[in-house]
């Protein structure tokens, strides 16, 4: 009878007693499907190994994530990096200008000190000259008095 009906019929009771692989093989024969269990098992092992590696990496990343300390004071909005760079350049230029101004002030203060020293020197020289003039006038006055006394 099996030869008359062919592959389209089979014994369900016998089918239920087959092992899973035998059932699969019978169904593949009925449907003209070729299936390579060894190849499928090899591919399954490759996928399983890849999944194992990915899961291991995931666990490592999750462990690293737990160690990340997030600062609660971080700004909620994004920071304008280009704006900060521009501000940094402007502040750098400002600081350079301040250094130039400080150098000019230091030079001017040094010049003031030098001029104050010259003023003191000239003031002292002036005092000495005035004293010399007074001494000379006193000598002149004494000579006049002496001449007037001698003339009398």
Render pLDDT for 49-95 as a digit per residue (tens, 0 to 9).
Answer: 999 999 999 999 999 988 888 777 777 788 899 999 999 999 999 99
Is the per-residue pLDDT at 115 higher than 80?
A: yes
Cβ contact 15:23 at 8 Å: yes
Question: Rounded to the nearest 5°, which phi and psi values hold at 21?
Answer: -65, -40
Closest CA to 7 of 33, 32, 35: 32
What are the structural domain ranges in the chain? Answer: 2-67
pLDDT band at 6 (very low <50, low <70, confident <90, very high): low
Residue 25 has a CB neighbour count (10 Å cut-off) of 15
Cβ contact 2:26 at 8 Å: no
Closest CA to 31 of 7, 55, 50: 7
């Amino acid at each position: 009878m099996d030869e008359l009906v062919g592959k389209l019929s089979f014994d369900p009771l016998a089918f239920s007693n087959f092992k899973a692989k035998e059932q699969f093989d019978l169904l593949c024969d009925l449907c003209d499907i070729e299936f390579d269990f060894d190849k499928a098992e090899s591919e399954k092992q490759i996928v399983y190994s890849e999944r194992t590696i990915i899961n291991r990496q995931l666990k490592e990343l999750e462990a690293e994530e737990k160690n990340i300390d997030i600062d609660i004071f971080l700004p909620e909005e994004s920071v304008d990096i280009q704006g900060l760079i521009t501000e940094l350049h402007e502040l750098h230029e400002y600081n350079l200008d301040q250094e130039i101004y400080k150098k000019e002030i230091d030079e001017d203060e040094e010049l003031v000190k030098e001029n104050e020293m010259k003023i003191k020197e000239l003031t002292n020289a002036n005092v000495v000259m005035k004293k010399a003039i007074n001494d000379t006038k006193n000598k002149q006055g004494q000579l006049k008095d002496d001449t007037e006394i001698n003339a009398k």
